[in-house]
Amino acid sequence: MSRLASLWARLREQLTRGRADREFREELRAHVAELRDEHLRRGMTPADAHRAAMLAIGGFEQARELVNDRRGFLVLDHLWRDARHALRMLRKSPGFSAVAVVTLALGIGANAAIFSFIDAVMLRPLPYPEADRLIAIWEIERGGERGAVAPANLADYARVGAFEHVAGYSTPSLSLTGGGEPEGHIGEAVTWNYFTVLRVPPALGRAFTREEDSPAGRPVVIISDALWTRRFGADPAILGRAVDIDGVPHDVIGVMPPGFRGVSQFGSSVERHLWLPAAFPAELLANRGDHEIRAVARLRDGATVEGARAELTAISEGLAQAFPETNAKVLAQMQPLAGDVVRDVRRSLIVLMLTVGLILAIACVNVANLLIARGVGRRREIAVRYALGATRARVYTALLTESAVLALLAGAAGLCLALWIQGVLVRVAPASLPRLSEVTLDARAVAFTFGLSLAIAMIFGGLPAWQAGQARPVDAMASGGRIVAGSRVMRWRNGLMIGQLALSALLLVGAGLMIRSLVRLNSVDLGFDTAGVLTMRIGLPMAKYPTGDARLAFFEQVEARLTALPGVSGVGYANAFPLRGGWSSGFGIDGLPLPAEGVYEADFQAVSPGYFKTLGIPLIRGRHLTPADIKTSMAVAVVSEQFERQLLGGRNAVGTRFSRVGPDGPFITVVGVVRDVRRDGRTATVEPQVYLPAAQTGMYPVRLADLAVRSTGGNAHDLMPAIRAAIWSVDRDQPITNIRTLDEILAISSAERRFQTLLFAIFAGLALLLASIGTYGVVAYLVSQRTAEIGVRLALGASRGRIYRALVAPTALLVVAGTLAGVVAARWLAALLDTMLFEVPPGDPATYAAAAGTLLAVALVACVLAVRRAARIDPTTALRYE
Amino acid sequence: MPPRDKTDVLQGTLALMVLKTLDAMGPLHGYGIARRIEQMSGDALQMNQGTLYPALVKLEQQGWIRAKWGVSENNRKAKFYALTPRGERQLAAEADRWGRVAAIVGRFLKPAGDPS
């Protein structure tokens, strides 16, 4: 109690010590006056009386010192004094301070920005109550990739005792019509317990009931707050009102709270606004081989992930035995949802964090090196401190405080920088990065930044402090005023400089490989001309267009109207255009034995006669598809060159017949061969292509749904109002979605790679900058330390060129050594990047040479610039130096 | 930190002497306390009066004494220290402890071989 009171009293004193000191001086003066009076009374002279009084109190200042030491906290006091001293010292050498603070700020800023990214994307819980208890479930075919869950298996997975609920969801494309322009949406079709699993009930209305989640259930829908506000004016009377979805009226029964996101939202740039009951049809629930949905579960209180996984595996294996036909190869797997939504980006984020970590390491090495250099210069000051009775602890504290002040200043600057970097990153990041909208620079990031700054101060300030603290009082006196770095200090600095250059080389090689990949990628020929081609999805609702003929009729009408538009040079339609998905199928070729795999495989597409012209795919031989190829005429197809090469051994394909049904036909005859395309983009391989006339595809399970328009120039999107009007003149309720030019799709598909490459390039540039600053700093300091020596040499007649060489040579050696070390390390680490590279081997010699060359050139320029100062030295001034 | 061990030993006894002085004399300024302690020791103790003040600061921090500005007999502005109720209790406890310690030490230092 009294201890606490005393602590409090001292804390108060700490804050009011200025006044306390003034008061004490007054008190002491009164004391001295009383003593003096007494001595005067005893007959002393005024001067003697004063001296006797001072003697009695043991000296005025000494008494003050004793009392001040007793007041408040000595440690705080020393810290404050050290901090002020540090600030003064930093102000006295603005060059050093600026370089150190800017260097650290760059490193800290980059780290804080990337941390806030990783925090939002990977570390922070998903925006659901107790989100860490949510589990994602998927199924894999043994030896295959992860796939969707069969709704028929869902009820079995719900038997896992560790799960409270298991919900299924899929992401259907929906059209919202009536009361405004038709809108295309990607909604979520969810089981009734979906919102129970997420623990987010609708803000208005209610969630789905079990009855509604069945094929016999009444059509109902839950909408997002954003849609409610935008389209329905946030009218509370929305509940019970019907909206048309895919042409069917659905009663709105609920509105989700603002900001609610469906599970499928993470990693998708399309916002979810509509939730429908999944209402699995009985056939689907009877077929365990039909994998259609994704699943999310909530762990029961007290249950563990491992326990749940064991149960799930056991159930899955039980199903494999009970239903060998459909489930023999299927295994259910699970992992916490938060990790699941970032599984695709985890690796690149980790590489990113490593990269900025390296940047920070380089910055720290820079500053540590500068501090060491400074420490050498300050040996005398430190020796004097020791000589005056400072303890080792006090000297270390003072030196560490100096680096802490530096680091904190840099932390503050870094935070501003981070804010800026983050703004840029969010703007250029690919939309597919999950949870991008959650990126903020919050208290966590601030805490991270300052924690990092202090850690840096302790670790990288500690070494120089230890070096400098080695000074002995005798050093100061013995070396006659001029202090030269000892060989041990030099070794440390050389090592740090080599390390720094090596790290920079590492980043430069990484960036070089990424940039080369991107260049390679962009130079890949797709085989079709993307310029000016605007594509859009027109998902005709089955209810309104039940047959292939109905769909064909719709598209033929639209084509006729669009062709007439000014600014349009080509119109095509298909089930899907390149880069927009597709359909792979097996078949047999007439007159050829079936291959060992069972059937021949190719990409199939149903295309309109205008398809090839719209995409600029040239004909090699035979003929294109024409409007004369109709349902009743001979079944024909056009194939790609790769079809000939891969499947026919290079023979002319025209005239070849193939069948998708059986050895006896019906057959489709190849009438033309066109150039190869990379359907799935630049990273995709060239696959055999088969183009069937849209008019003849009634016999195949393919729905026409994609439309492309080639514009004659300018921005293709400018055509959109006219295109919309034309389509809506055919069907005014038809939503048009996914409107993108092919170039935009390409840009999006390579967005992640471009983003990574951009970041890598920026960071490598930063590393290069830091390394050159570091080299410059160290050499410049060296030169300034040797000014006197240089003066002597000059005075003795050494040529400037010679001094030049003497200063550059040792540093140049370090630069070369560092670069070589970095290149060797890069060759070894580049394997990490392997999956991020495209057609560039991790050991690409040209990249390594370019990186090493750049680093050598920049570092040597920095070195020469620093040394040039020495050449300007005037011998007479130099000799008077210090 | 500067070595301070010697003064620390003194501080303990000095604090007790200050408390006793204030108990006996009522509120007193620093000079008065120093004079009184020197007088009580029969001028045998020539203390460094400067060391009195850290002791006073510590006693104040502990809440055993309280300081107030006033006017000295010589008409000077001076700081007067007075015992707080907690200080009185502390004095009683300390005096008791001191007495016991003194008795023990005294017994130790009795001529050897003397029983009882």
Q: What is the β-pairing status of strands A163-170 and B28-29?
A: unpaired
Report the percent of chain A where pLDDT is more than 90. 28
Return the pLDDT at A146. Answer: 80
User: Does residue A56 sit at the B interface (CB-CB below 8 Å)?
Assistant: yes
User: Does residue A34 sit at the B interface (CB-CB below 8 Å)?
Assistant: yes
- Closest chain A residue to B76, measured at CA: A30
- DSSP track, A561-581: HHHTSTTEEEEEEES--TTS-
What tens digit of pLDDT does each residue of A716-742 get? Answer: 888 999 999 999 999 988 888 888 888
Q: What is the mean pLDDT of chain B?
A: 80
Chain A positions in Cβ-Cβ contact with residue B48 (cut-off 8 Å): 56-58
Grouping H, G, I as helix, E, B as strand and the rest as coil, residue B10 is helix
Residue A401 has pLDDT above 70, yes or no: yes
Of A316, A764, A325, A299, the C-alpha closest to A516 is A764
User: Does residue A717 sit at the B interface (CB-CB below 8 Å)?
Assistant: no
**Residues in chain B, total:** 116
10 Å Cβ neighbour count for A834?
10
Record: contact A63-B61, CB cut-off 8 A: no
Return the pLDDT at B105. Answer: 86
Residue A4 has pLDDT above 60, yes or no: yes
From first CA to last CA, the distance across chain B in angstroms is: 47
The number of helices, as runs of H, and strands, as runs of E, in chain B is 4, 3
What tens digit of pLDDT does each residue of A698-708 get? Answer: 655 567 888 99
Record: contact B31-A35, CB cut-off 8 A: yes
Record: contact A69-B54, CB cut-off 8 A: yes
Query: Would you state the structure tokens that stand for residue B57, as one six-digit string?
Result: 């600061």
Separation of alpha carbons B33 and B27, rounded Å: 9
Record: contact A71-B57, CB cut-off 8 A: yes
- Tell me: cis bond preceding A666? Omega within 30 of 0 counts: yes
CB contact set of A778 (below 8 Å; sequence gap of 6+): A369, A370, A373, A493, A497, A811
Residue A96 has pLDDT above 70, yes or no: yes
Residue A171 has pLDDT above 80, yes or no: yes
Stretch among A33-37, A208-212, A476-480 having the lowest mean pLDDT: A476-480
C-alpha dihedral over A565, A566, A571, A577, to 10 degrees? -110
Query: What's the average model confidence in pLDDT over A28-34?
Result: 88
What tens digit of pLDDT does each residue of A450-468 get? Answer: 888 888 888 877 777 777 7
Return the pLDDT at A675. Answer: 94
pLDDT-derived band at B12 (thresholds 50, 70, 90) equals low
Return the pLDDT at B9. Answer: 41
Q: Which amino acid is at A850?
A: A
Separation of alpha carbons A253 and A518, rounded Å: 49
DSSP character at residue A624: -
Q: What is the mean pLDDT of chain A?
A: 85
Separation of alpha carbons A682 and A530, rounded Å: 12
Of A164, A358, A299, the C-alpha closest to A768 is A358
What tens digit of pLDDT does each residue of A283-337 get? Answer: 888 888 888 899 999 999 989 999 999 999 999 999 989 988 888 888 898 999 9
Buried b (16+ CB within 10 A) or exposed e, A115-133: bbbbbbbbebebebeebeb
pLDDT-derived band at A657 (thresholds 50, 70, 90) equals very high
Residue B3 has pLDDT above 50, yes or no: no
User: Does residue B51 sit at the A interface (CB-CB below 8 Å)?
Assistant: yes
Residue B6 has pLDDT above 60, yes or no: no
Separation of alpha carbons A25 and B23, rounded Å: 26
Residue B41 has pLDDT above 80, yes or no: no
Return the pLDDT at A424. Answer: 84
**B50 vs A66, A74, A389: nearest CB:** A66
Query: Would you state the structure tokens that stand for residue A405, as one six-digit string?
Result: 């002040």
Residue B2 has pLDDT above 60, yes or no: no
Exposed / middle / buried, residue A591 (Cβ in 10 Å: 0-12, 13-18, 19+): exposed
Residue with tokens 């903020």, as numbered in its chain: A440
A186 bridge partner residues? A173
Stretch among A202-216, A488-502, A642-656 having the lowest mean pLDDT: A488-502
Stretch among A686-695, B39-48, B71-80 having the lowest mean pLDDT: B39-48
Of B112, B102, B96, the C-alpha closest to B19 is B96
Residue contacts between A and B (CB atoms, under 8 Å) = 77
Separation of alpha carbons A238 and A511, rounded Å: 54
DSSP character at residue A119: I
**B50 vs A10, A30, A59: nearest CB:** A59
Return the pLDDT at B7. Answer: 38
Stretch among A57-66, A155-164, A494-503 having the lowest mean pLDDT: A57-66
Query: Would you state the structure tokens that stand for residue A630, as one six-digit string?
Result: 């109709």
Return the pLDDT at A448. Answer: 84
Of A187, A190, A196, the C-alpha closest to A130 is A196
Contact A529, A615 (CB under 8 A): yes
What tens digit of pLDDT does each residue of A241-264 get? Answer: 989 887 788 999 999 999 899 998
Residue A686 has pLDDT above 80, yes or no: yes
Residue A882 has pLDDT above 60, yes or no: no
pLDDT-derived band at A879 (thresholds 50, 70, 90) equals low
Return the pLDDT at A708. Answer: 93
Return the pLDDT at A162. Answer: 92
Contact A406, A457 (CB under 8 A): yes
Chain B positions in Cβ-Cβ contact with residue A59 (cut-off 8 Å): 50
Return the pLDDT at B116. Answer: 44
CB contact set of A50 (below 8 Å; sequence gap of 6+): A32, A36
A274 bridge partner residues? A223
Angle at A656 between CA A650 and CA A660, to 5 degrees: 110
User: Does residue A2 sit at the B interface (CB-CB below 8 Å)?
Assistant: yes
Of B48, B31, B68, B71, the C-alpha closest to A28 is B31
pTM of the model: 0.68
Q: What is each CA distance from A821 to A275, A494, A495, A826, in whole angstroms?
A: 57, 13, 11, 9
Contact A174, A246 (CB under 8 A): yes
B111 torsion bin: left (phi>0), alpha (psi -120 to 50), beta (else): beta
Angle at A178 between CA A177 and CA A182, to 5 degrees: 35
- Helix A751-785, helix A487-522: angle, nearest 10: 150
Query: Would you state the structure tokens that stand for residue A453, as one six-digit string?
Result: 């700054």
What tens digit of pLDDT does each residue of A208-232 get? Answer: 999 999 988 899 999 999 999 998 8
Residue with tokens 């009195």, as numbered in its chain: B52
Return the pLDDT at A479. Answer: 52
Record: contact A70-B58, CB cut-off 8 A: yes
Sheet holding B65-71, edge to edge: B28-29, B77-83, B65-71
Record: contact B49-A37, CB cut-off 8 A: no
- Closest chain B residue to A3, measured at CA: B62
Query: Would you state the structure tokens that stand for residue A372, as one six-digit string?
Result: 């060491």
State the DSSP H helix or E strand holding residue A137, giving kind and residue range, or none if neither. Answer: strand A134-141
Contact A148, A293 (CB under 8 A): yes
Contact A503, A767 (CB under 8 A): yes
Return the pLDDT at A57. Answer: 84
Exposed / middle / buried, residue A331 (Cβ in 10 Å: 0-12, 13-18, 19+): middle
User: Does residue A76 sit at the B interface (CB-CB below 8 Å)?
Assistant: no
Report the percent of chain A where pLDDT is more than 70. 93
Grouping H, G, I as helix, E, B as strand and the rest as coil, residue A641 is helix
10 Å Cβ neighbour count for A850?
16
Residue A542 has pLDDT above 60, yes or no: yes
Of A692, A854, A874, A685, the C-alpha closest to A794 is A874
Record: contact A2-B62, CB cut-off 8 A: yes
Query: What's the average model confidence in pLDDT over A518-539?
Result: 88
Chain B positions in Cβ-Cβ contact with residue A4 (cut-off 8 Å): none
Residue with tokens 């080639």, as numbered in its chain: A710
C-alpha dihedral over A451, A457, A463, A464, to 10 degrees? 170
Most confident of A118-132, A626-640, A833-847: A626-640
B28-31 LR contacts (CB < 8 Å, sep 24+): B28/B80, B28/B81, B29/A27, B29/A30, B29/A31, B29/B70, B29/B72, B29/B78, B29/B79, B29/B80, B29/B81, B30/A27, B30/A28, B30/A31, B30/B56, B30/B78, B30/B79, B30/B81, B31/A30, B31/A31, B31/A34, B31/A35, B31/B72, B31/B78
- DSSP track, A736-787: -EEEEEHHHHHHHHTHHHHHHHHHHHHHHHHHHHHHHHHHHHHHHHHHHHTH
Query: Would you state the structure tokens that stand for residue B3, as one six-digit string?
Result: 């070595």
| Residue A589 vs residue A777, higher pLDDT | A589
pLDDT-derived band at B113 (thresholds 50, 70, 90) equals low
What tens digit of pLDDT does each residue of A838-871 get? Answer: 888 888 999 999 999 999 999 888 888 888 766 6
Contact A508, A819 (CB under 8 A): no
Query: What's the average model confidence in pLDDT over A186-205?
Result: 94
Return the pLDDT at A459. Answer: 80
pLDDT-derived band at B1 (thresholds 50, 70, 90) equals very low
Q: What is each CA distance from A796 to A43, A784, A789, A875, B43, in whole angstroms?
A: 71, 19, 11, 9, 73
